[in-house]
Structure 1
């Protein structure tokens, strides 16, 4: 007899779309436990610029997988998948439903489909690539990637040395491109997943929300938060934590590049670009129910009906 898979809920969406508010409401009404799916919320001391749930919000609805790392540390999609599956199994064991909430689409994809069989890091080849970058510059290495793997080159920015180095390393180790290897999926998630995405129907409304949120972040002390990180002395712009949207632009300002107003403007623009990328990911997603940010009551009812059925 076939065993029925336990239910899990995915609540995805672009930044500033209202995911947290809806998740908290669901947590208060149903036996769900929230797992954060956000590559920025994992870092301690990065609260304001990541729009991390407040202490009050967390008391109403605790979130798992936030504040688990120092900003100096890195965290991969494979790390997330393992941690999330461990949490999901623990939640199910308690007789509750995992509710995964966030906007890091790569994490959702890794969790849902499993991970591709990518080769382990090779320190020798990695060092060779770093030396070439020092001699030739990352732009030249990005051009190399364009030649061998145009799909990955389109996705990876020339100023993203970590991902650029990894894509070249994979090719040099295996003779196959990152694009080729990621077409082979790993083990699928052992849950009955119901997927939802929340966003405003009007793009202009999403832009308004992003600008408003950035303004509130500045009022709440975002500049001081980044100054504290900057003052540590062990953090730099090539770390995944400091590359987070908003932090990168503020860091650039603290490095003496431009005014604070310009940093805020660039931060808002970068957040809009992030939201656009998130929506593009979601439009290619299968088995997805779209929810309207401007009708939270209806969104709540749609998910409530899924839980009840």
Structure 2
């Protein structure tokens, strides 16, 4: 098989939909390895709140970019693109097919199509926005982004201050929307792509999210977050699952309030993930229960791609 006929099977979709289980089934069927494109599972200090694959799951297929970095590392989507493409090159030396799985749309797109070079804002503007984050809180910055770039606001992880501030930097320094700079031109990749999306009935998904949060609490999420309390200022920890528990530990919310907010924020996050991936017309959508149909579809695509 020529290098161009190497195939990346990308599995995307909202949180709690069952991407990890499917990726493992597909990787085992095609005897290959998995690249994680979940921007929160890179960090070795965060496990319960990121729904990281457990040791039994990790043992079933070789995973890359799980526990690969520390929350103290500065690891951007641009860094991920470079490292993931290099990793794919190595995997393709021994495998014709590789699996990538994740719900972080920006990171998935970076591998599939390349990451756009965005205009650089001044240090002064960044400092000003970070100061506003401290004094005004994230809600006012969210509202400003919603006014300046409603398209990006509808799909970004609005609980991630780094993403909000980066988008505002571009909007305020150029007078154009952040979304207008993205994916101007796709990079040429030396592999073909099969893009699988998982989705299901919204109420069923929300029920799965609520159950997953309850399980995280039972598995020790509060203790995991408490151990990270000294680092709550780091960008990696300003995310759903950690922000809410920090507010409980900081005595702003009761535990039950934090859990309810965590469920609500995760449901909202899932809705944004679906919005993001639905914009990609190349995704073929399946129910998470349709494992055999997905494998049959991939087999059929492999036949037509490699002819």
> What TM-score do the two structures reach when normalised by structure 1?
0.85
2: CA distance between counterparts of 1:213 and 1:300? 26
1: CA distance between counterparts of 2:197 and 2:145? 33
Match of 1:65 in 2: 65
Aligned length: 303
Q: 1:300 to 1:211 in 2, by over 3 A?
A: farther
Match of 1:280 in 2: 275
Q: 1:138 to 1:269 in 2, by over 3 A?
A: closer
Superposition deviation, residue 294 in structure 1: 2.6
CA RMSD of aligned residues (A): 2.8
Q: 1:292 to 1:146 in 2, by over 3 A?
A: closer
Match of 1:100 in 2: 100
2: CA distance between counterparts of 1:291 and 1:54? 24
Aligned partner of residue 9 in structure 2, secondary structure: strand
Q: 1:3 to 1:34 in 2, by over 3 A?
A: closer
Residues 1:216 and 2:215 aligned together: yes
1: CA distance between counterparts of 2:139 and 2:20? 38
Superposition deviation, residue 185 in structure 1: 3.0
Gaps of 5+ in 2: none
2: CA distance between counterparts of 1:142 and 1:266? 17
2: CA distance between counterparts of 1:198 and 1:148? 31
Match of 1:301 in 2: 296
Point out the more displaced range, 91-100 or 52-61: 91-100
2: CA distance between counterparts of 1:218 and 1:140? 30
Match of 2:178 in 1: 178
Q: 1:308 to 1:118 in 2, by over 3 A?
A: same
Q: 1:26 to 1:166 in 2, by over 3 A?
A: closer
Match of 2:224 in 1: 225
Cα deviation code 1:10-55 (max 9, x no counterpart): 1111111111111112222213210001011011121111111111
Equivalent positions of 1:39-188 (< 5 A) are 39-120=39-120, 122-130=122-130, 149=149, 151-152=151-152, 161-171=161-171, 176-182=176-182, 184-185=184-185, 187-188=187-188
Gaps of 5+ in 1: none
Match of 1:203 in 2: 202
* Contact residue 11 and residue 19 of structure 1 kept, 8 A: yes
Residues 1:266 and 2:261 aligned together: yes
Q: 1:225 to 1:130 in 2, by over 3 A?
A: closer
Cα deviation code 1:200-228 (max 9, x no counterpart): 2x222111211221121111111111111
Q: 1:31 to 1:184 in 2, by over 3 A?
A: same
> What TM-score do the two structures reach when normalised by structure 2?
0.86
1: CA distance between counterparts of 2:40 and 2:64? 13
Point out the more displaced range, 73-82 or 255-264: 73-82
Q: 1:47 to 1:181 in 2, by over 3 A?
A: same
